[in-house]
Structure 1
Amino acid sequence: MSLTPQVEGSRSKGVVGKHVYGNLYGVDPNILRNEWFLRSLVIKAAEIANVHLVEVKSWRFIGGDKEGISVLALVLESHIAIHTWPEYGFATVDVYTCGDHSMPEKAFNYIVNALRPARYVMFNADRSSD
């Protein structure tokens, strides 16, 4: 459940949800295998998005002919996630925030610029309650 921080004396007009997500193609596989670099990206992305970082977790998957890393930043306002498939030079990025103060587009663009894909697609969804 995502919570929107309230300023004392303000009245809630519902949840303001902003979801920016996309696919990145042609990313250097060595970057997509660098767990600590990816963790640092989501930490900085949270700062850029103007959200409050709660915790960062990451997982490295190795098995058979598939490998990848998933990094998830839990933020008070929701989450930031990166999932990678190095053998395909492919990653997905997901930035979902709640609150007027958050800037998920800036966080998404920061991550894209750092990963330097050959191309990418970005989607936006309004996840607001009103």
Structure 2
Amino acid sequence: MNELGRHILAEIYGCDAEILNDKELIERNMVESALKAGAEVREVAFHKFSPQGVSGVVIISESHLTIHTWPELGYAAVDVFTCGDRINPWDACNYLTELLKAKNMTATEVKRGIFEHPVSVKASNI
């Protein structure tokens, strides 16, 4: 592995609007998705917006999962970031897609912290 972590950026469409607007259910689904992937959950924080929508984060030992929902559009933006090679972020992302009863999911994987060889980096003002 040449990277420190893998970051999945998921666009999840055609979700059940009631699920997307239920803070407790979204929180439970996010935690279950993290656990399904084998992650170790550390902390959770979720917020219900008025009149609709939920945002939240599940902090895991391996990094984090985040979500922001638009129930009126049946859409959720989800990030799953895992460090190391013990956890597969796709497992959490795919399981969450099922739990949201989504019709479609597109996602991109970004490799984070790619190091080809040891380097010395000097901080600079950019």
TM-score (norm. length: structure 1): 0.81
Equivalences, count = 115
TM-superposed CA distance for 1:39, in Å, is 0.8
Out of 43, 55, 64, the residue aligned to residue 31 of structure 2 is 43
TM-superposed CA distance for 1:128, in Å, is 3.1
User: Is the contact between residue 3 and residue 111 of structure 2 (CA under 8 Å) also seen in structure 1?
Assistant: no
Out of 109, 117, 120, the residue aligned to residue 102 of structure 2 is 117
Mapped partners of 2:72, 2:90: distance in 1: 27
Q: Secondary structure at the match of 2:39?
A: coil
Q: Secondary structure at the match of 1:51?
A: coil
Partner amino acid for 2:19? I
Partner amino acid for 2:11? N
Match of residue 77 from structure 1: 62
**Cα offsets for 1:63-90 (capped at 9, x unmatched):** 5xxx210121011221101210111111
User: Is the contact between residue 60 and residue 68 of structure 1 (CA under 8 Å) also seen in structure 2?
Assistant: yes
**Cα offsets for 1:20-56 (capped at 9, x unmatched):** 1211112121111111111111111121222221101
More divergent stretch after superposition (22-31 vs 101-110): 22-31
More divergent stretch after superposition (99-108 vs 20-29): 20-29
Mapped partners of 1:128, 1:106: distance in 2: 21
1:91-102 to 2 correspondence within 5 Å? Answer: 91-102=76-87
TM-superposed CA distance for 1:118, in Å, is 2.0
**Structure 1: where are the runs of 5+ without partners?**
1-12
Mapped partners of 2:10, 2:85: distance in 1: 22
Match of residue 86 from structure 1: 71
Match of residue 10 from structure 2: 22
Which 4+ stretches in 1 moved above 4 angstroms? none
Mapped partners of 1:54, 1:74: distance in 2: 5
Mapped partners of 1:42, 1:30: distance in 2: 16
Mapped partners of 1:91, 1:120: distance in 2: 10
Match of residue 59 from structure 1: 47
Mapped partners of 1:15, 1:127: distance in 2: 6
Percent identical across equivalent pairs?
Answer: 33
Partner amino acid for 1:48? K
